């Protein structure tokens, strides 16, 4: 293996590990939030706001980070973000009020921006045929959410929730330093070429409506994944009466496969077509959400001789199976969308990828709030899945007509070419 090949694979590995650590910190409120909610007596809506705080700044950070990575290089921006998050974690145990926890959550959101800088860094190292695979492997750092589900409850039970931020801060600081010493600037100086462009030129691809359509798809596959990662632990506690440790472990069956499968999803997108994979993902999720949306229902059927009573509900293990399947599909979907981005914008992965990532993170920010509002208004816990069903339906309609429009344009251009040849 050549030196360049060694460097790119080592860099991909350490960058993925650092992203996983950042993602674990970014989703920390999914577990800590349950203790904070109990201590402060928060409503579902207030709890949704608490979960959304780091995701909101993470969404903004992704767009800004993507632009900065294009201008200054992904390596230095990624390291700087990791360092800031690691140091800020040591201040969390001093928060006491709801406002203070919200303020810390906003700072913690910087961890979410590491995805855009990492994608820019990784993409600059790999050739076109391996883009989907490389970005899929890096995206598997979403497994950081599973790390939080697995590790944080154990620390809370044994040492109290205040210990968790200290442990996370120490680990993230160590990994950030390892990333700096075991990664290298990309051999091509593409980011230096782009750094001579004006900010206006770098942002020009964002004028394309196609970018925002990709963003809507990512709003569902990543925003929905992130929202459920944050929401499922308390859902299991409230709906099925599980304790915190069990609820966190069962949530792991959604988050971990969804993260790990992303690497395989990138390979599938490289070899079978990203759009085809994405369309299949939407159909699988649609079927799962149809059943997940159905609330527990008791029916009385007045028969001829007697009444019949039906109790319709999804038991725990069927629920876990459906979320497991949907998580796998979302993992494929996240990888395929970024392969599509590279196909259309190979020289602007940082900016376009950052914008799409920001929209996806906004899904992770807005959806928990909407979940809480819907639960407070309707009193139905499964209303969160009803909302996701509606978002997915909008994505599928938009994608269907976008495909039809592309086919029409292709036939029109082909007809023009045939007419020219006959002249």
Tell me the pLDDT band of 172, cut-offs 50, 70 and 90. very high
Which residues are paired to 310 by β-bridges? Answer: 299
Average pLDDT, the chain: 82
Rounded CA gap, 250 and 69, in Å? 36
pLDDT at residue 202, rounded to an integer: 63
* Mean pLDDT to the nearest integer, 355-384: 84
Q: In degrees rounded to 5, what are phi and psi of residue 311?
A: -115, 105
Q: Is residue 406's pLDDT more than 80?
A: no
Query: CA nearest 228: which of 146, 156, 283, 161?
Result: 146
pLDDT at residue number 171 = 92
User: By C-alpha distance, which of 110, 117, 178, 112 is closest to 145?
Assistant: 112
Residue 149: closest CA among 91, 258, 232: 232
User: What pLDDT sits at residue 89?
Assistant: 92
Residue entry with tokens 């590790």? 151
- Yes or no: say if 186 and 118 are a contact pair by the CB < 8 Å rule: no
The CA R_g of the chain, rounded to the nearest whole Å, is 22
Determine the pLDDT at residue 324. Answer: 93
> Does residue 294 have a pLDDT over 90?
no
Q: What is the pLDDT of residue 322?
A: 93
Q: What is the pLDDT of residue 416?
A: 61
Integer Cα distance of 148 and 177 in angstroms: 21
- Give the mean pLDDT of 62-71: 78
pLDDT exceeds cutoff 70 at 306: yes
Both tokens of 139, joined, read 């995206």
Cβ partners under 8 Å of residue 331, min gap 6: 142, 225, 257, 258, 259, 260, 261, 262, 264, 265
Average pLDDT (393-414) is 76
Across residues 90-98, what is the average pLDDT? 88
Element (H, E) at 299: strand 297-302
Task: Return the bridge partners of 300, or none.
Answer: 309
**pLDDT above 50: residue 189:** no
Q: Is it the case that residue 192 has pLDDT exceeding 70?
A: no
Question: Among 96-100, 185-189, 294-298, where is mean pLDDT lowest?
Answer: 185-189
pLDDT digits (tens, 9 = 90+) for 196-217: 455 566 667 677 777 888 888 8
User: Cα dist. 46→37, 67, 82, 238, 388 in Å?
Assistant: 9, 33, 28, 16, 20
Quickly tell me which residue has 């859902």 as its tokens.
235
Question: What is the Cα–Cα distance from 132 to 137, expressed in whole angstroms?
Answer: 9
Contact predicate 262/140, CB 8 Å: yes
Encode pLDDT of 226-244 as tens digits: 889 878 888 898 888 888 7
- Give the residue, 150 or 349, on which the prediction is more confident: 150
Residue 155 in this model has a pLDDT that exceeds 70: yes
Q: Which of 334, 285, 370 has the alpha carbon at shortest distance from 52?
A: 370
Bridge partners, 307 (sequence order): 302
344 contacts 225 by C-beta, under 8 angstroms: no
In the structure encoding, which two tokens stand for residue 145, read together?
């959410």
Instruction: Count Cβ atoms within 10 A of the Cβ of residue 146 and give its class: 0-12 exposed, 13-18 middle, 19 or more buried.
Output: buried
> Is the entire prediction scored with pTM above 0.85?
no
d(CA 135, CA 123): 7
**Cβ neighbours for 231, distance < 8 A, ≥ 6 positions apart:** 51, 367, 368, 371, 384
* pLDDT value at residue 367: 87
Q: Percent of the chain, pLDDT > 90?
A: 12
The class level of CATH for 3-422 reads mainly alpha
Question: Can you give the pLDDT at residue 341?
Answer: 82
pLDDT given for residue 323 in this prediction: 92
Angle at 348 (CA atoms; ends 346, 353), nearest 5 degrees:
100
SS3 content of the chain, % helix, strand, coil (to 5): 85, 5, 15
Span 327-331, average pLDDT: 90
Which is more confidently placed, 63 or 205? 63
Spatial distance between the Cα atoms of 196 and 365, rounded to a whole number of angstroms: 34
pLDDT tens per residue across span 103-143: 888 898 898 888 888 888 887 877 777 777 787 788 778 77
pLDDT at 288: 93
């Amino acid at each position: 293996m050549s030196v360049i090949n060694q460097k790119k694979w080592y860099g991909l590995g350490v960058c993925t590990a650092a992203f996983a650590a950042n993602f674990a910190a970014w989703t920390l409120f999914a577990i800590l939030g349950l203790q904070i909610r109990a201590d402060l007596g928060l409503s579902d809506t207030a709890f949704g706001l608490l979960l959304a705080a780091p995701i909101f700044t993470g969404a903004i950070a992704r767009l800004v980070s993507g632009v900065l990575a294009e201008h200054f290089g992904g390596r230095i921006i990624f390291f700087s973000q990791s360092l800031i998050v690691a140091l800020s974690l040591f201040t969390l145990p001093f928060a006491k009020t709801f406002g203070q926890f919200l303020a810390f959550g906003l700072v913690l959101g910087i961890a979410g921006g590491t995805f855009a800088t990492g994608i820019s860094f990784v993409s600059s190292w790999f050739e076109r045929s391996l883009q989907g695979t490389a970005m899929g492997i890096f995206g598997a750092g979403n497994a950081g959410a599973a790390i939080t589900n697995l590790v944080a409850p154990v620390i809370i039970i044994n040492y109290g929730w205040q210990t968790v931020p200290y442990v996370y801060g120490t680990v993230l600081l160590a990994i950030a330093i390892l990333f700096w010493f075991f990664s290298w600037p990309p051999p091509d100086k593409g980011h230096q070429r782009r750094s001579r462009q004006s900010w206006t030129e770098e942002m020009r691809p964002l004028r394309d409506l196609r970018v925002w359509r990709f963003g809507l798809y990512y709003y569902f596959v990543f925003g929905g994944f992130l929202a459920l990662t944050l929401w499922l632990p308390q859902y299991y506690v409230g709906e099925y009466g599980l304790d915190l440790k069990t609820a966190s472990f069962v949530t792991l069956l959604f988050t971990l496969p969804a993260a790990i499968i992303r690497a395989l999803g990138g390979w599938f997108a490289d070899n079978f077509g990203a759009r085809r994979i994405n369309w299949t993902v939407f159909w699988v999720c649609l079927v799962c959400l149809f059943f997940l949306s159905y609330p527990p229902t008791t029916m009385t059927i007045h028969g001829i001789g007697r009444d019949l009573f039906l109790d319709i509900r999804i038991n725990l293990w069927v629920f876990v199976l459906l979320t497991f399947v949907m998580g796998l599909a979302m993992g494929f979907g996240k990888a395929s969308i970024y392969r599509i981005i590279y196909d259309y914008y190979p020289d602007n992965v940082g900016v376009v990828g950052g914008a799409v990532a920001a929209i996806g993170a906004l899904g992770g920010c807005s959806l928990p709030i909407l979940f809480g509002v819907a639960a407070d208004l309707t009193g139905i816990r499964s209303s969160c899945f009803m909302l996701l069903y509606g978002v997915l339906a909008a994505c599928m309609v938009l994608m269907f007509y976008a495909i039809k429009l592309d086919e029409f344009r292709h036939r029109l251009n082909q007809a023009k070419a045939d007419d020219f040849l006959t002249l």
